[in-house]
Amino acid sequence: MTSTIPEYVPTSLDKIEEIYTTLNSRFDSLATHSLAYRLYNLKQLAYLVKDNESRIQEALLKDLGKASFDVSYGDLWPIVNEINLALKRVEGWMQDEGRISDAMFSFKSMRPRVKKQPKGVALIISTWNYPWQLTLGPLVGAIAAGCPAVLKVSEHAPSSSALLAEILPRYLDPEGYAVVLGAVEETTRLLEKPWGHILYTGSAGIGKIVATAAAKTLTPTTLELGGKSPTIVTSCANLKIATTRMFSIKQMTAGQICIAPDYVLVVKDRVEEFIAQCRKTLDQLFPPSPSPNSTLHASAAANVRNPGDLDRLLTYVSTAESQGKLVYKGEVNKATRRMGISLVRLNENGQGESGGLVDEEIFGPVMSIIPVEDVDAAIKYVNERPKPLALYVCAGERSVFKKIINETWSGSATWNDFGFATFARNLPFGGVGDSGWGSYHGVDGFNTFTHRKAILEVPYIFEPLMSLRYPPVSNFKQSLFKLLLYSGVHFKRPTSVEDEQKRIIRKKVIRWSTSALILALSVYAGILGWRARS
């Protein structure tokens, strides 16, 4: 079968200059601001995905050895879901936001509001593991916000990047949206320029370079950086369900997902049972070769990115095996860069552990298991380390989940499942601290690329009011001015946090009692009315 994928050719630096000038001219013309322009390009983007699905699947087979269905539901469905939401909501998102209710009386007649405007030409720098979702997903937010965009796609997914560069101008406004191919030199040239907004997805190391470059041009950024996403398995967890759900996500793209579970903190009274269940689940889900469901052959599996990454992952496994800490060894085929899931049991609380397995994002089919005393010890372990992009909690009781999410910090948190926060178009996707800053998806994607401009209208008829500030300012004018512009302190001096807590409880009791009384009176009135009609 003849390949339909174009050759990967880096974009020349001269062409980058031309693209930058063209897109900024398009933005300055105000053409990208209209609702019609946004709707047209959003719809065209959906048809780009729909019309080229088979070619995209072919590209990702070349890049990562991904099967067709995995490409569709992992890379393409989330894009179309985002587009459909934007088409439904963008007109409302664009509307001015009224701020009259919280305004002081003197400002209420000045039409205080927030106007939503596109920030300018956006730069979206995406990564290789989900090259379509992580490129076109942010682009949905940029289009919805009215921003032109340059897409700097990854050189580590050359087939996907070359294909997108070919087809994008056929669907979207070529003066408003462009793809740049290349590596360090091309990215460096792009980062030298001021942008309306930069959204970067990738490693923390490169993220720091992007943030440093953006600071030089005072460009706002969104950084999606990943990191080590922990799983906490509690005493009340259903281990069969937990392991099945966990490994079904961990094997996707050979574990090369920023939100893949990286390590598992297991309360020590269940750690042996958990390891036994892990072995059982892995044997059931991914039986060894020559089974067609083996990770060496299964269509749902994928390749490790390159030989260097494979060697790094195999070093984790061999080191753990030599130390007697390997509790499950996945299969390996170096020729195809296929690798099954391996499990490593570390010391309790990770005591004395060091090296890449505990200090770096694994980004592959290796997972460490760390026994901990209890849930509080697990919380302490998480909080002593960089804040993760995703946190997973396996527990039978929702109260345990609530305790953990209230006492830890992470980009997202999921109870009894893994990875699905990225599919939730109605929730923000983003990190915190070392896992990044900013977010997108749905309205949060629109907001990321939107400037919120404060608007206040002071017509000439307000001159008698405004003249109060003109010198000389008499005592009478000062009194009036204070009355108009100062809300004052109208509450008693607080005595303690405990006293404030009592006040909160009293307010809740009064509110609940009032609601109950109104309900009782309504029911009583209804009964009287029914009796009267009878």
Residues annotated as part of the active site: 224, 258
> If DSSP states are collapsed to H, E and C, what string results for 123-176?
EEECCCCCCCHHHHHHHHHHHHHCCCEEEECCCCCHHHHHHHHHHHHHHCCCCC
CA dist 85 → 37, 115, 147, 176 (Å): 16, 21, 18, 22
Give helix 133-145 / helix 35-51 axis angle, nearest 10°: 160
Distance from C-alpha of 280 to C-alpha of 201, rounded to nearest angstrom: 35
Distance from C-alpha of 386 to C-alpha of 208, rounded to nearest angstrom: 15
Tell me the two tokens of residue 403.
Answer: 């305790």
Omega prior to 158 cis, within 30 of 0: no
Cβ atoms of 430 and 439 closer than 8 Å: yes
Distance from C-alpha of 257 to C-alpha of 241, rounded to nearest angstrom: 21
Strands 366-372 and 261-267, bridge-based pairing? parallel
Cβ atoms of 137 and 441 closer than 8 Å: yes
The number of beta carbons lying within 10 Å of the beta carbon of residue 315 is 14
Distance from C-alpha of 385 to C-alpha of 405, rounded to nearest angstrom: 15
Indicate the residue type of 230.
P
